[in-house]
């Protein structure tokens, strides 16, 4: 069931799709398109949340797997935190990451590098390809922010890859994320004159940077010139964030700047996670970006869990993934699921039209492995929350038999209005997932 | 748009599996060969590199122009350079996204393959604004409240010179003054100066390493870098930050042009406090022990491995490089064979050795010697509860001898090495690798090297026995010109450094660090010359750096015709 959802960003027509492809680097006037949208129609927003290193305790699948079918779903013990939004959940069973070569690629990297790209970069020698979130973001080319990459901790390997090639930078500082999303937003109307002045000053800095970068570009060629082209593109984006002042009205209520949090302190993880969730929710509610890539737990992430009871404070998620302490591994996985639940519930608490922001969004929870200790990439832990503007029938368990993850990625593109026949390696992609959208 | 010019490790890998890169052709890795035969389809060799011999004769090969590497400063370079530009030190590195590896698996950072994006630009903006505010608050802007334009220009010009690492053009100065003027129209002089500094620190001239060369002197595809560009490259390579006023003055006076002058400047920078400190930092990184302070070991098994011990372990290695390189002028061979050691009371208790007098100890007949006897290295390349010989062997093979291995096959991930059982030695447990057909080939080239260090446990303490069984640290190694039997770690240190493989490998890695990008076909001849130079200089680290800096590869680039 697909309902027409006019939006600020949606690539709704073939014409605008081609325009987007042809005009790479040039932002399209989506602001005006929003103005033309019918009342009650809202853009679809995609938030992909990753918790790497598995989510399913070894030999305890029943604790993770939801019971049910296409008529209804019962949340598993590990997913109880999602109870308030149970009606908006779709749980998946039987989706495999087929991109890595099972005979050779069983380390961490092949699992996370292929998860959202549907391509095996190393073994297949394919050109560097983006993850699905970034692919969609590049097609939507939205203003003021094309995409938002966020993490809870620094130094992480996330499954997100930019269209320029290379790992997507994800921002671990809550203050930086807020600044990036809302720029110089001041909630106090009395301070608006001062904020306007500050924006004007920032604009003069950007004008200067544009002049300098353009001049230097003339000195270079080839790859080096492309670097400066990319730089110019980001200056334009910064300009659009500055020009597009958020308005505190309706669903949009920018949280206050979380300020500086001591990122080096292990016990700050919950506070950082809460701050990032609050800013992400505000960012999508204020329609600052259509795509958020949220690396909740990255790979090789050594932060400890002194705030979770019964956990050895010298051990990290990966340590527990490879230990026999199944119950503690489950407890850590549940802690992350709790942050995810916090995000979707926050989105569900913000009214938008005749529903909530969550109803107009699709929030994905995914891991690169099933059981962290086994590095297994079949039956990937995957669920979605939200109806994507009525495109998705929720409260279901969708069961497949060895279905390719690539097909799910195609469905994500379609949900966001990006019409592709396949995604990633076409040899392991047959089109969108059946019965999902 | 593709900016992944250097992102082609996939294209390189197949060719390199079978050889020791740039050093010793013809290493055969038994079962690893199978990995190549059954390897990925569709991998191609970059046509640009295909006709370059990876191991050319340095005496006769022709140096080809190296490609430019416009790239963003690393976080550390940024923080230190801002300090030089503004004269005010502010912690900024943590505000920026993490750096990329110079290439996959490299211990060094370089953003050669990183394009600017929205997240980065915002982080740079926040860092620049933080630094500019700090500089103004520190009272560096002294033009008063009714600042004259002349005074502001005098304030900006020297900062622009340090930021751009060359004198700014008049047009650039007036562009920056325009920022000042725009803010000044409705704000204070201090605010305006702060915004001008912020703009300066966000300008591409500052954020990117960018060397375009003196195009008027282009010859046969080569462009010599300008003297300012050479000074800039040198300053970053040797001190980890942009050039200061003294160096820029030297360039202005024509003192960084002739080869002998460039060499002298390099020696002077190396003699400075920041030059020595940066060299030591990079050497510690090369040994891959920078992370030892945060290294976790089983609290049950090694309660004595406290943060104090970990700090002392890092300190030992840093002091070792400082003293050996800059006081003794040791050769790279001595780094692995010397009996000299530099540690204090904290580490002495772990080593079970007497506290050294005057900070220098002598291992004498102990099986410990050189860098590979350091707790920092031994602990980094071990498990949490017990030794993993594969890790130590892999370092020696890949980082010291420049051998390469294919990624491990899937089966290796589930290969059961029995956990410590209080009965068997580590070697006995790991020898199952050598018995198994699937793992034999690759592990044969790593584990036996690792066994040499079995006299040292997972935190680097000496062990004469393991589970009441005597330690067998003997083995055999055959890798290019490194061939023979060894009885223990000390013996291995002598053996691997007897030939030219270690210095050549090291010189190649440092040449790559100097260019701050993965090497390509056109660089191979230059690399061979640098390697020969290091061997001829008897493995003297400082001579290697000077040699790299005075090489054509470091001071020229290919012609770019925009």
How open is the CA angle B410-A153-A350, to the nearest 5 degrees?
110
Give dist(CA B418, CA A417) in Å, integer. 52
Instruction: State what percent of residues in chain B have pLDDT above 90.
Output: 63
Q: What single string gives the DSSP state of each residue in B376-387?
A: HHHHHTS-SSS-
Tell me the pLDDT tens digit for each residue of B232-256: 999 999 999 999 999 999 999 999 9
CB contact under 8 Å between A205 and B172, yes or no, is no
Do the Cβ atoms of A230 and B208 come within 8 Å? no
pLDDT (tens digit per residue) in B99-108: 888 987 899 9
Contact A230 B95 (CB under 8 A): no
Contacts of A197 in chain B (CB under 8 A): 186-187
Q: Which of residues 118-147 of A touch B (CB under 8 A)?
A: 121-128, 145-147
The pLDDT value recorded for residue A102 is: 57
Asked whether B320 and B404 are in contact (CB, 8 A), the reply is no
**A434 against B8, higher pLDDT:** A434
Q: Which chain A residue has its CA at the smallest distance from B111's CA?
A: A166
In which band, very low, low, confident or very high, does the pLDDT at B434 lie, cut at 50, 70 and 90? low
Alpha-carbon distance of B412 to B405, in angstroms, equals 13
Residues of A in contact with B73 (CB under 8 A): none
Report the distance separating Cα A61 and Cα B379, nearest Å.
Answer: 37
Residues 6+ positions from B369 with CB-CB distance below 8 Å:
B336, B337, B338, B339, B363, B489, B490, B493
- Which tokens in the block code for residue A104? 């050779």
Give residue B20's pLDDT: 32
Q: List A residues 149-178 in contact with B (Cβ-Cβ < 8 A).
A: 149, 154-155, 162-171, 173, 175-176
Interface contact A211, partner B, CB < 8 A: yes
Contact of A408 with A95, CB cutoff 8 Å: yes
Cβ-based contacts of B191 with chain A (< 8 Å): 201
Torsions phi, psi for B477 (to 5 deg): -130, 140
User: What is the pLDDT at residue B415?
Assistant: 47
Partner-chain contact B121 A145, CB within 8 Å: no
* Rounded Cα distance, A317 and A323, in Å: 10
**Out of B39, B71, B175, whose CB is closest to A212?**
B175
Q: How far apart are CA A17 and CA A7, in angstroms?
A: 14
CB pair distance less than 8 Å for B10 and A121 = yes
Cα separation, B471 vs A215, whole angstroms: 66
Stated pTM of the model: 0.81
Candidate from B38, B97, B208 with C-beta closest to A169: B97
Distance in Å, alpha carbon of B433 to nearest chain A alpha carbon: 17
Judge whether B534 and B22 are in contact, CB under 8 Å: no
Q: Span B188-208, mean pLDDT?
A: 97
Residue B424: which pLDDT band, with cuts at 50, 70 and 90? Answer: confident
Interface touch A166/B408, C-beta < 8 Å: no
Give the other-Cβ count within 10 Å of A399's Cβ. 15
Asked if B117 lies within 8 A of A238 by C-beta distance, the reply is no
| Least Cα separation, residue B199 to chain A (angstroms) | 5
Residues of A with Cβ-Cβ distance to B97 under 8 angstroms: 169-171
Residue contacts between A and B (CB atoms, under 8 Å): 208
CB contact under 8 A, B118 and A234: yes
Peptide bond into A142 cis (omega under 30): no
Taking residues B288-305, what's their average pLDDT? 90
- Residue A237 to residue B118, Cβ atoms within 8 A: yes
Rounded-to-integer distance, Cα B295 and Cα B307, Å: 9
The CA distance from A52 to A300, in Å, is 9
Question: With an 8 Å Cβ cutoff, are B4 and A107 in contact?
Answer: no
The interface residues of chain A toward chain B in range 226-285, judged by CB-CB distance below 8 A, are 226-231, 234-235, 237-238, 263
Strand A89-96 relative to strand A382-385, pairing: antiparallel
> Given CA atoms B157, B159, B161, B163 in this order, what sign does their dihedral have?
negative
Q: What residue has token string 């960012």?
A: A283
What is the model's pLDDT at position B26? 32
Distance from the Cα of B7 to chain A's closest Cα (Å) equals 8
Q: Determine the residue of chain B that is closest to A209 in CA distance.
A: B203
pLDDT for residue B6:
33
A298: region left, alpha or beta (phi > 0 left; psi from -120 to 50 alpha): beta
Q: CA nearest B486: which of B384, B400, B367?
A: B367
Nearest-CB residue to B126 (from A105, A165, A176): A176
Contact call for B204 and A263, based on CB within 8 A: no
- Residues of chain B with C-beta less than 8 angstroms from the C-beta of A166: 4, 7, 100, 113-115
Measure CB to CB from residue B1 to each of A164, A235, A315 and give the nearest one. Answer: A164
Q: Which residue has the higher pLDDT, B360 or B345?
A: B345
Nearest to B138 by CA among B199, B90, B170: B90
A contacts of B113 (beta carbons < 8 Å):
165-166
Residue of B nearest to A151 (CA): B97
User: Looking at per-residue confidence, does B345 or A246 come out higher?
Assistant: B345
Paired tokens of B234: 């040198």
Residue B367 vs residue B456, higher pLDDT:
B456
Model pLDDT, residue A127: 53
Nearest to A219 among B44, B116, B562 (CB): B562
Asked if A194 has any chain B CB less than 8 Å from its own CB, the reply is: no
Question: Considering chain B, what is the average pLDDT of its residues?
Answer: 85
Place B562 in a pLDDT band, splitting at 50, 70 and 90. Answer: low
**Residues of B in Cβ contact (< 8 Å) with A213:** 204
Nearest by CB to residue B10, choosing from A122, A163, A219, is A122
Question: Which helix (H) or strand (E) element contains residue B176?
Answer: helix B170-184
Residue B436: the pLDDT is 55
Residue B410 has its nearest CB partner, among A103, A145, A169, at A103
Q: Is A219 on the interface with B (CB under 8 A)?
A: yes
Give the gap in angstroms from C-alpha B122 to the nearest C-alpha of chain A.
6
Using CA atoms, how far residue B127 sits from A183, A237, A238, B75, B353, in Å, is: 14, 18, 15, 11, 47
Q: What is the mean pLDDT of the segment spanning B510-531?
A: 93
Residue B162 · residue B224 · CB < 8 Å: no
Q: Highest mean pLDDT range out of B371-375, B389-393, B406-410? A: B371-375
The answer on pLDDT for B50 being more than 80 is no
Greater confidence (B40 vs B272) lies with: B272
**Of B1 and B136, more confident:** B136
Low-confidence stretches of chain A (pLDDT < 70) are 1-40, 101-107, 121-128, 155, 184-187
Complex ipTM, two decimals? 0.84
Given this model, what pLDDT does residue B181 score?
96
């Amino acid at each position: 069931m697909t309902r027409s959802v006019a939006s600020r960003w949606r690539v709704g027509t073939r014409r605008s799709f081609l325009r987007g492809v042809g005009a790479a680097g040039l932002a399209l006037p989506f602001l005006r398109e929003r103005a033309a949208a019918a009342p009650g129609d809202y853009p679809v927003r995609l938030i992909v949340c990753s918790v790497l290193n598995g989510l399913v305790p070894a030999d305890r699948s029943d604790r993770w797997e939801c019971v049910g079918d296409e008529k209804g779903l019962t949340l598993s013990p590990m997913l109880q935190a999602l109870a308030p939004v149970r009606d908006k959940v779709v749980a998946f069973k039987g989706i495999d990451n087929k991109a890595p070569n099972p005979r050779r690629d069983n380390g961490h990297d092949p699992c996370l590098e292929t998860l959202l790209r549907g391509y095996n970069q190393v073994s297949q020698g394919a050109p560097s390809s983006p993850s699905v979130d970034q692919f969609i973001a590049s097609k939507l080319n939205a203003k003021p922010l094309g995409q938002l990459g966020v993490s809870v901790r620094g130094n992480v390997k996330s499954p997100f890859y930019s269209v320029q090639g290379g790992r997507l930078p994800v921002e671990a500082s809550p203050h930086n994320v807020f600044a990036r999303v809302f720029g110089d937003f001041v909630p106090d109307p009395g301070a608006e004159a001062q904020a306007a002045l500050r924006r004007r000053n920032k604009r003069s800095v950007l004008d200067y940077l544009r002049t300098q970068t353009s001049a230097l570009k003339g000195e270079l060629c080839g790859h080096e010139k492309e670097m400066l082209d990319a730089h110019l593109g980001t200056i334009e984006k910064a300009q659009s964030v500055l020009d597009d002042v958020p308005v505190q009205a309706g669903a949009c209520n920018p949280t206050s700047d979380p300020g500086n949090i001591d990122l080096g302190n292990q016990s700050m993880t919950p506070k950082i996670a809460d701050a990032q969730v609050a800013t992400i929710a505000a960012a999508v509610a204020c329609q600052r970006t259509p795509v958020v890539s949220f690396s909740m737990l990255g790979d090789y992430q050594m932060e400890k869990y002194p705030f979770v009871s019964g956990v050895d404070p010298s051990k990290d998620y990966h340590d527990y993934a490879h230990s026999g302490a199944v119950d503690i591994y489950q407890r850590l996985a549940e802690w992350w699921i709790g942050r995810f639940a916090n995000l979707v519930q926050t989105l569900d608490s913000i009214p938008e039209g005749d529903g909530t922001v969550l109803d107009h969004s699709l929030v994905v929870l995914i891991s690169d492995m099933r059981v962290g200790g086994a590095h297994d990439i079949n039956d990937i832990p995957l669920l979605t929350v939200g109806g994507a503007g009525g495109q998705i029938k929720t409260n279901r368990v969708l069961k497949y038999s060895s279905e390719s993850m690539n097909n799910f990625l195609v469905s994500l593109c379609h949900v966001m209005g990006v019409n592709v026949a396949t995604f990633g390696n076409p040899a392991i992609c047959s089109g969108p997932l059946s019965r999902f959208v | 748009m593709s900016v992944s010019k250097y992102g082609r490790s996939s294209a390189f890998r197949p060719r390199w599996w079978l050889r020791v890169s740039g050093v010793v052709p013809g290493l055969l890795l038994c079962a690893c060969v199978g990995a190549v035969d059954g390897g990925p389809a569709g991998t191609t060799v970059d046509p640009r590199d295909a006709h370059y011999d990876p191991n050319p004769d340095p005496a006769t090969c022709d140096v080809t122009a190296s490609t430019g590497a416009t790239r963003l400063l690393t976080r550390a370079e940024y923080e230190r350079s801002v300090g030089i530009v503004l004269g005010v030190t502010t912690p900024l590195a943590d505000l920026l996204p993490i750096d990329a590896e110079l290439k996959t698996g490299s211990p060094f950072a370089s953003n050669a393959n990183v394009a600017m994006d929205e997240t980065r630009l915002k982080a740079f903006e926040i860092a620049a604004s933080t630094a500019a505010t700090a500089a103004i608050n520190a009272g560096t802007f002294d033009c008063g409240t009714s600042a004259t334009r002349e005074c502001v220009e005098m304030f900006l010009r020297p900062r622009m010179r340090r930021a751009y690492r060359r004198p700014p053009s008049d047009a650039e100065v007036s562009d920056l003054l325009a920022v000042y003027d725009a803010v000044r129209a409705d704000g204070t002089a201090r605010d305006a100066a702060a915004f001008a500094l912020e703009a300066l620190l966000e300008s591409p001239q500052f954020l990117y390493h960018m060397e375009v060369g003196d195009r008027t002197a282009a010859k046969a595809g080569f462009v010599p870098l300008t003297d300012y560009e050479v000074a800039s490259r040198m300053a970053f390579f040797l001190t980890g930050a942009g050039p200061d006023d003294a160096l820029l003055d030297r360039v202005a006076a024509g003192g960084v042009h002739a080869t002998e002058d460039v060499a002298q400047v390099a020696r002077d920078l190396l003699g400075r406090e920041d030059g020595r400190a940066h060299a030591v930092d990079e050497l510690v990184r090369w040994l891959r022990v920078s992370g030892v302070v945060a290294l976790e070991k089983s609290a049950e098994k090694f309660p004595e491995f406290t943060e104090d011990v970990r700090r002392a372990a890092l300190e030992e290695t840093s002091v070792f490089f400082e003293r050996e390189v800059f006081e003794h002028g040791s050769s790279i061979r001595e780094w692995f064979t010397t009996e000299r050691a530099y540690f204090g009371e904290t580490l002495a208790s772990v080593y079970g050795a007497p506290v050294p007098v005057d900070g220098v100890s002598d291992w004498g007949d102990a099986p410990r010697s050189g860098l590979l006897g350091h707790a920092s290295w031994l602990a980094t390349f071990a498990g949490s509860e017990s030794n993993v010989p594969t890790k130590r062997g892999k370092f020696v093979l890949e980082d010291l001898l420049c051998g390469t291995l294919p990624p491990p096959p899937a089966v290796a991930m589930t290969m059961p090495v029995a956990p410590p059982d209080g009965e068997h030695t580590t070697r006995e447990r790991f020898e199952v690798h050598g018995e198994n057909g699937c793992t034999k080939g690759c592990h044969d080239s790593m584990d036996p090297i690792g066994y040499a260090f079995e006299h040292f446990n997972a935190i680097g303490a000496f062990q004469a026995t393991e589970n009441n069984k005597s330690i067998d640290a003997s083995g055999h190694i055959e890798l290019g010109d490194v061939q023979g039997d060894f009885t223990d770690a000390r013996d291995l240190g002598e053996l691997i450094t007897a030939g030219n493989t270690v210095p050549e490998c090291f010189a190649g890695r440092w040449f790559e660090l100097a260019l701050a990008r993965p090497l390509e076909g056109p660089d191979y001849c230059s690399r061979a010359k640098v390697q020969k130079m290091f061997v001829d200089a008897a493995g003297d680290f400082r001579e290697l750096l000077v040699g790299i800096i005075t090489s054509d590869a470091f001071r020229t680039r290919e012609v770019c015709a925009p």
